[in-house]
Structure 1
């Protein structure tokens, strides 16, 4: 009798243990079927900051070439020197032009003498013709000789003026007030003008103001406004920001770069910055009031469009459509979400609306 009771007790205990293990296995199976997800909260509305490279250029920059051949006699301005408009930069010794000018002046004197003689002859024949002492044909010939002599003299005078102008180019003058940023010649150097290989003798730059050029991507082109002010930095002055004001925009997007060229102006009254320098320009655009930032990894690309998976208060999934405003690489600026939304990061591809999920760490 006791053995039967013990057997029954063992049988009941075994059955209870198997039922408990089965229920525990079922609960674990159900729990495993509920995915664990990582939750992120979107960043609230914020300003959109864009940093782009740019290049500083002088307000005016003119390479100064020689207009006549010769040898450099002397230069008067070196690199880094400030010059006024019309200041003498260099003198060129032009022996060939000087000889040509002397010959042209002598030829002009000859043509003038011939013209004067032809004029005297013409007047004399006019008087004789009036007295019927000579024929009309001979008188017309003398008049024609005088007209030809007058034209020849004008030609000689024009040649003298041309060579005088060319001789005046022996004095190299500054085109405007600025700084000499290059000098590519020295005393005694051969100057050959008017050839494709000719090099500028000097470069003069007006650095009182500087132009700052930057290419703005098409996604931001519509946000560029007249008169906007940006901050920029240069490697010369680490940690210091400078201000530049927008003066021009090209109004067209370059098809090769997909960007619009924009020009800013910087008042370089302190002469701190140099033309040709590299700069980094920081644009700050106000973001839309309804826009938030989410990780790019939280997007779902499905037939219905661009969406994200959001967990509600009861830990169920809600598929929410969003609109991408700006792509920042690892982050996106989107509309369609609230800052307090619980966005599922790296969602599973098979996640559906209404699915139950467990937040990581819950």
Structure 2
């Protein structure tokens, strides 16, 4: 049997419903795609904005709460140091003290053979004997003529000539004696002696070397230094010069003795500021019983300066060099940058003391980018982020 035919109206209704479902499905798919694209675009926009916003670390300035340490380079010099030159000519006969030798004042360091000076002494001694003989004869003659004048046997003019000749001979004898003394003194310089107790730090001669005195280009034969105490010279910048007080002490650190410090006392200052370096020369004194401090050494000298009590301190890494002056970058409540010109009172190297322009409540950018400008939006790292970045 044949199935009955369905009404045409029923079939049209089903087709219409299927069409509506298809259209709805298309609308849903299109809507989902558009929504996905919109959210993706928004995420991209947010990510781009976030990447364009610089991330910075920030801190609050601290107050100066105690003594500050001023560290400066210093040079170590011997308490006394003397180059020993030759005072006579000749050849080095022998030397008795090498570098590092402890010597006493007046101890012989070397001897010079002086044949030329010895001959000059002999000749000068002979000249002195001749002059003394002539003086004796002139004295006898003058006395005789004085007696003859009393007897009216000779004229007074002749007697005065004899007395004048006696004066000339006496002057010649004195000159000859002075020349002998001079040459004998030069002979005495054959022995090179130490000027004071100390250590021989240099020897620039050897046996047989030609010794010439009075030569401006000559090198010293020996150098002797008194190292029982040492002088330390430090150039203190003018801004700290007022903090250098009498009876002040300092600590010395030398690279060859890591972890060890030496005490030094203030001996004096130049009381003037060098117009070239803008610093004041300070002299310290340190005892050197072990001989560890050496002349010519470099030392790091640390002074403990009194605290001002109200100074605002920031690390030097927070400073920006701008045409209008030294600047720091502050962050306001909305996360925007505000550049502020400051005035530095003192620069301790790692930290600087701000004279004006900052307060402990300000939020300051640390290590700000050079391109940072007024009004820029920034993102501030919190403490955890900063610790993580420091560890990484």
Same fold by TM (over 0.5)? Answer: yes
**Would you say 1:164 and 2:184 are equivalent positions?**
yes
Q: What is the aligned partner in structure 2 of residue 38 from structure 1?
A: 56
Quick check: 1:188 aligned with 2:219?
no
CA contact 2:318–2:364 (8 Å) conserved in 1: no
Change (3 A) 1:300 1:143: closer
Computing the radius of gyration from Cα coordinates, the structure with the larger value is 2
Match of 1:337 in 2: 358
Q: Which residue of 1 aligns with 2:105?
A: 85
Residue 220 of structure 1 corresponds to 240
Residue aligning to 2:389: none
Separation in 2, partners of 1:217, 1:292: 19
State the shift of 1:320 in Å.
Answer: 6.1
Matches of 2:125 and 2:349, distance apart in 1: 75
Helix, strand or coil at the partner of 1:204:
strand
Aligned length: 355
Aligned residue number for residue 149 of structure 2: 129
Please provide the CA RMSD for this pair.
Answer: 3.9
Q: Name 1:291's counterpart in structure 2.
A: 312
Q: In 1, Cα distance between the equivalents of 2:377 and 2:337? A: 6
Q: Normalising to structure 1: TM-score of the pair? A: 0.80
Tell whether 2:188 aligns with 1:175. Answer: no
Instruction: Please list the CA deviations of residues 243-292 of structure 1 after superposition, one character each: whole Å capped at 9, or x if unmatched.
Output: 22221222333333333322211110121221112222233434433322
Structure 1 residues 188-220: Cα deviation after superposition (integer angstroms, max 9, x where no partner) = 222111112322111110000111122223333
Q: Deviations over 1:309-342 (max 9, x none)?
A: 5446676777766432234667543244343432
2:50 pairs with 1:55: no
Structure 1 residues 213 and 295, CA gap change in structure 2 (3 angstroms): closer
User: Which stretches in structure 1 are left out of the alignment for 5+ residues?
Assistant: none
Shift of 1:105: 1.4
SS of alignment partner, residue 280 of structure 1: strand
Measured in 2, the distance between the counterparts of 1:94 and 1:269 equals 40
Distance apart, 1:67 and its partner CA:
0.5
Looking at structure 1, the residues matched to 97 and 184 of structure 2 have their Cα atoms a distance apart, in angstroms, of 25
Secondary structure at the residue paired with 2:219?
Answer: coil
2:256 to 236, 246, 252: 236
CA distance in 1, matches of 2:62, 2:195: 55
- Choose which of 139, 143, 148 in structure 2 pairs with 1:119: 139
Stretch moving more, 40-49 or 260-269: 40-49
Distance in 2 of aligned mates of 1:86 and 1:322: 63
The verdict on how the C-alpha distance between 1:309 and 1:187 changes in structure 2, with shifts beyond 3 A counting, is: closer
TM-score by length of 2: 0.75
Query: 1:68, CA displacement in angstroms?
Result: 0.6
Per the alignment, residue 86 of structure 2 pairs with: 66
1:155 has 2:175 as partner: yes
Change (3 A) 1:185 1:122: same
Gaps of 5+ in 2: 1-15, 386-392
- The residue aligned with 1:274 is 294
Q: Which moved more, 1:138-147 or 1:57-66?
A: 138-147
Distance in 1, matches of 2:82 and 2:114, equals 24
Output the CA distance in 1 between the equivalents of 2:234 and 2:319: 33
